[in-house]
Structure 1
Amino acid sequence: MPDQPQSGPVVEVVGTNATGAALILCEHAAHDIPARYAGLGLTPEAAISHAAWDPGARNLALHLVQCLDGTLIASRVSRLVYDCNRPPEAASAMPEKSELIDVPGNTGLTGAQRTERAESVYHPFCNAVTAAIDAREARAQPTALITVHSFTPVYYGVRRETEIGILHDDDTALADAMLKGAEKLPHRVIHRNRPYGPEDGVTHSLQRHGLAHGLPNVMIEVRNDLLQTPEDIARIGDELCAMIAPAIIHLGLQEQGTSHA
């Protein structure tokens, strides 16, 4: 790792002095629920299920940080408390139900309760991202914004074929460049804007932290059955690095020969 995690209670930051272009976000890195929310009324199983976080995503993001000499900003709070990839006005920022799982602690939240969640979880995360972008701009360091997620193999009873999803909003440049490299991975099922796309409301971070700052940006989704062990994570991480590093060079964010992959 470039350095050790430096964090407050709800945000983890790794690689503040990284020299690579990759600024990696992991909004669903943890399933922790602060005690004041009384477990949101969830069963123990639901509280650690894929509804509560993205299994494997944080470790995958850390692998990318290492191979790309990048910076990681990760939320340490369950997305059922607040989903940092959603704006405060979105119902899905604090969902009353996630797939088949009811979230009693999110039912009938008042405006004050929703504001408290946003102030406690969302704004610190966004402030950490903005601080990292500002610091990179101050030292004239090129930046590509990459968000890292995992998804469940079966959703509402339907098996998903996609193994790796490369998602984008209006700016397709980084996604296009990565998808050109997908030919290096003929054994993988790689799709554009699947299993989700902008129409599903999943590109908030790309919009707020990427598009708004004029940064090339992409969202990576990996099916979580491919991230079960450290060996799995290293394998997928290396494959993603083989797509990301040339894409960053192609966009002129890093010179040929300086790749860390």
Structure 2
Amino acid sequence: MLLPDEPPPCRRLYPDATSAFLLTADHAGRRIPHALGDLGVSEADRQRHIGWDIGIAGVTEQLALQLGATAILQTYSRLVIDCNRPPAAPSAFPEVSEATPIPGNHGLDDAAKHARMQAIFAPYHSMIAGEIAARSARGQRTIYIAMHSFTPVFHGHARPMHAAVLFNRNPRFSLILADLLRAEGDLIVTENDPYAVSDATDYGVPVHAERNGLDYAELEIRQDLIATKAGEAAWATRLARLLPRALEQLEQSAR
């Protein structure tokens, strides 16, 4: 699936970092393997949210640097395979995304899906799983932070929230972070809206965080706020200030 001159499916930043935070970005990239052409999708459409999470790579990279934290970012477009979906879910290989047809995904057989999974999905999630296991083995705590972004308008409906914090079974850290974001005074912050986490529709949090008993937050930032370098930097700086405070409050609540 991936030729020798193509980039690997994921990249890890600061592997020796000692921070408790582990950042992941399932939709950081928008590349399509040469073998798949353009999937029948225009360049303009591939630059939209259907192709990747706009702005989240830059936020994650800068946040990792400021926190001194390890980050793992996925390289290829969610149109090839969505790395935050169980591979058996229909949305893992979308035939239509936000009303845009994806011709290259129509009628994929099991062999075609398996090839994409083995080339992109499996290495990315193996890197995350290996990182968590290695940290556990050396006694390093892990707070799993899944980084995402969302569109300001969806099917004609404006989304007024600036950020959202998502969670499933263990909301402890997520709720603390949501409260701290609201306390900033200039943000509308929601919980499990415009998305919610579930075993049927999500992969990262249920598999890596909840199965390992980790505290976590899945963070969504509205894309118009991080569509520029200045916006990316501002949000990275904000989160670099708030995430350690959230961890401190979590530890205080456990005493």
User: Which TM bucket (shorter chain)?
Assistant: over 0.9
Q: Relative to structure 1, is the Cα distance of residues 130 and 59 closer, same or farther in structure 2, using a 3 angstrom cutoff?
A: same
Cα deviation, 1:137-183, whole Å, max 9, x if unaligned, reads: 11100110001011111111111111101111111011011123124
Decide whether aligned partners of structure 1 residues 203 and 86 sit closer, same or farther in structure 2, where only a CA change above 3 A counts: closer
- What is residue 92 of structure 2 aligned with on the other side? 93
Matching residue of 1:158: 157
Q: How many angstroms apart in 2 are the aligned matches of 1:203 and 1:242?
A: 28
Q: What is the match of residue 48 of structure 1?
A: 47
How do residues 1-261 of structure 1 correspond to structure 2 at under 5 angstroms? 9-198=8-197, 202-252=201-251
CA distance in 1, matches of 2:13, 2:82: 20
Instruction: Report runs of 4+ in structure 1 exceeding 6 Å deviation.
Output: none
Structure 1 178/202 Cα, relative in aligned 2: closer, same or farther at 3 Å? farther
| Partner Cα separation in structure 1 for residue 52 and residue 104 of structure 2 | 16
Distance 1:171 1:79 in 2: 26
CA–CA separation in structure 1 for the residues paired with 2:133 and 2:21: 14
Percentage of pairs with the same residue? 31
Partner of 1:257: none
CA distance in 2, matches of 1:103, 1:87: 19
Letter in 1 for 2:116: R
Shift of 1:199: 5.5
**Which residue is 2:3 aligned to?**
none
Kindly provide the CA deviation profile for residues 2-21 of structure 1, in whole angstroms up to 9, marking residues without a partner as x.
Answer: xxxxx961111001000101
The answer (yes or no) to whether the contact 1:181–1:242 under 8 Å persists in 2 is no
Distance 2:14 2:139 in 1: 17
Looking at structure 2, the residues matched to 200 and 216 of structure 1 have their Cα atoms a distance apart, in angstroms, of 17
Q: Structure 2: state its 5+ residue gaps.
A: 1-5
Contact 2:182/2:188 (8 A) holds in 1: no
- Given the superposition, is the C-alpha separation of residues 34 and 94 from structure 1 closer, same or farther in structure 2, using an over 3 Å criterion? same
Q: Measure the CA separation in 1 of the matches of 2:199 and 2:94.
A: 14
Deviation at 1:241, TM superposition (A): 2.5
Give the CA deviation at 1:216: 0.6
In 2: Cα distance, 1:91 partner to 1:247 partner: 35
- Please say which of residues 233-242 and 115-124 is displaced more in the overlay: 233-242
Deviations 1:25-45 (A, max 9, x none): 000001100110111111121
Classify the secondary structure of the residue corresponding to 1:252.
Answer: helix
How large is the RMSD of aligned CA atoms in angstroms? 1.7
- 1:140 counterpart SS class: coil
The DSSP-based 3-state class of the residue aligned with 2:185 is: coil
- Alpha-carbon contact 2:86-2:202 (below 8 Å) kept: no
Any stretches of 5+ residues in structure 1 without a counterpart? 1-6, 254-261
Q: Note the C-alpha offset of 1:243.
A: 2.5
Q: What SS does structure 1 have at the residue aligned with 2:219?
A: strand
Measure, in 1, the Cα distance between the counterparts of 2:150 and 2:244: 23
Q: Distance in 2 between matches of 1:106 and 1:75?
A: 20
* TM-score, normalization by structure 1: 0.90
Alpha-carbon distance in structure 1 between the residues aligned to 2:106 and 2:100: 12
SS in 2 for 1:40: coil
- Match of 1:165, SS state, is strand
- CA distance, structure 2, for counterparts of residue 45 and residue 231 of structure 1: 23
Tell me the alpha carbon deviations over residues 33-84 of structure 1, each in whole angstroms, 9 at most, x when there is no partner. Answer: 0110111111121122110001100111112112221111111000000111
